[in-house]
A and B are shown apart, each in its own frame.
Chain A
Amino acid sequence: MPEPSPRSILSAAQLTKDFGGLRAVALDLEVAEGELLCLIGPNGAGKSTFFGMLTGAIRPTAGHIRFRGRDITGLDPFRITRLGISIKFQVPRVFEQLSVQQNLHLAAENRFGFAEACERAGHMLGRIGLSGHAADRAAWLSHGQKQWLDIGMAAIAEPALILLDEPTAGLSPEEAGRTAEFIRDLNRQATLIVVGHDMDFVRRIAQRVVVMHQGRLFAQGTIAEIRANGSVRDIYLGRGGRDARGC
């Protein structure tokens, strides 16, 4: 288990992505081993694109991503995952036709092999509170349960860095609360970058908050500092100039 330390686990240097002339992301960012970083920003700020580049789903136009000192820019998703970065997408992506247990097992098998994956899946079922649904088809789960299953799948292979894209999207307040606990719990083993929308969820988990706007790092600091920052409020209220999508 990596102890929290100032050592950087992930660094993005002049990381840029253009979509047909539009600059979606242009970012420099350092993430320290073991920290729990919250990434916020208005719609189209480029958060998901940034995640896409971290996981290899999107090829950067320019710039570099280093993971534990190794350049992973433009690697295939599966290779990046094998290096220890895993992601949960904004919309839960689970294997709907497979049972909950099978979902988790698949996620673990690649790293731990069949037998161990079974017990780890069982264990994870407990942690995400779906023990009662082990044999159910994922398609039958509620939205919140799917979110948890997806997080579980991202975490079960014990990656060093977990990316969570809006883990509370569409959850009720108390569900969000449980999710927050679970995330803090995960942070004991892994570094986390969480994209969040609703501020009090962010407040509950974040150590450091980074605000993205129009693809750039707009501001960063503790949650308190960010809340104090007037211009941040402005961009949330849409006073910060054109939105990055340019429409």
Chain B
Amino acid sequence: MMRNRRGFLKLTASAALTTAGGITGFPNILRIRSAQAANEVPVGSLLDRTGAFNISGQPAIVGTQFAVNQINAKGGLLGKQLKLIEYDTQSDIAKYTQYAKKLILEDEVVVTHGGIASASREAIRPVFDEYKALYYYDNLYEGGVCDKYVFCTGQTPGQYMGRLAEYALQHFGKKCYTIAADYNFGHISWKWWDIYWRNGGDISPVPGKPHGEHVGQVEFIPLDVTDFNATIQRIQQAKPDVIMTLIAGAAHMNFYRQLAAAGLHGKINIVSANFGSGNEHILLAPSEVEGLVVCAAYLDDLDTPANRTFKEAITKMVGDPKYLVGEQVCQKYNGWNIWAKAVETAGSFDREAVTKAMESGIAIDTPLGRIKSDAATHHLFYTMHLAAVNDKHGWNILQTYEDVPPSDDAKYCDLIKKPDQHTQYQPD
């Protein structure tokens, strides 16, 4: 049928194309072709703008857009402007996989940054491995990812637990009660915390060093639990010197609030792995969390010139002087910048070249201090800040440590000796 009509059809073709382009459920050719303009290079970002994870997703998007805008404003990379292609993964794991494939197979991006929850990272890691594409995961997480095609620029347990354990043992006591989120972040972090706590802040026992012990049983809290009543009673039963919280999201709000409501604030000391990354110190009253100690990479109270200018620029872009520049923003910013540095060092966008550059141990100065890439683990050396919540929704910085190594990952992962790895490790 088509053959006899071809002549006639050719005429109507263009009209048909546009209509059909509209009605059929596939990207229109026009869009695809315009994607690669001469002096542009596409880069991808997968973050949750909507849905349950948008709490972290939206600041992450701010950080991403700020970083890319800044790079482009400085004239781009290797003379090319970055064309940021963002997808809203809508807190839906299947969408992560789908968009990851789209970025690689259709938009043909040179790098992808993104992923919030560990689950989203694990969902797309297989895709990047399958298509041998470059992927940056810029979040604090439970550590252990060891993948030739993946760089994790967030800090890992080895970096935020060791010093925290030392401090807690010194100032609070040795009996610790731990609550952890009942998913991988919680479970794996707990294993690391167990190691660092029992070894008094080191990854392996050090003779003569004070070491902590656990009271009660570690408690894993399902993600959707909002009522911590039973937990609080169990804690009182166990009478710990210090509570370690490895929880996530709204659980922070609920737990400290209900703990305080039970009149326990100030009676039991609290240390936390990730408190503050959701600006909980602003949302919770000092009467609820004052004195809580963390060891964080970025704190918006960091009083360095770099951070001051950074915060100014961000608040200016967002158009809200009271905007809270939190860890998410800075992490994404750093992640993009260290990639940019790698691209410049390599003089190419090619994955292998960039990987080599990253593995040459490049370093950049960031609002939170110096960060330096670690060849063996594809993680970063961090500048960490030990800090306590003060009485005006801010932080008292107690101590700053530079070039803290990802010692936990280093224990299992060496991508130089054994490059062909695409996995995640956890302590035994």
Determine direct contact between A and B, CB below 8 Å.
no
A residues at B contact (CB < 8 Å): none
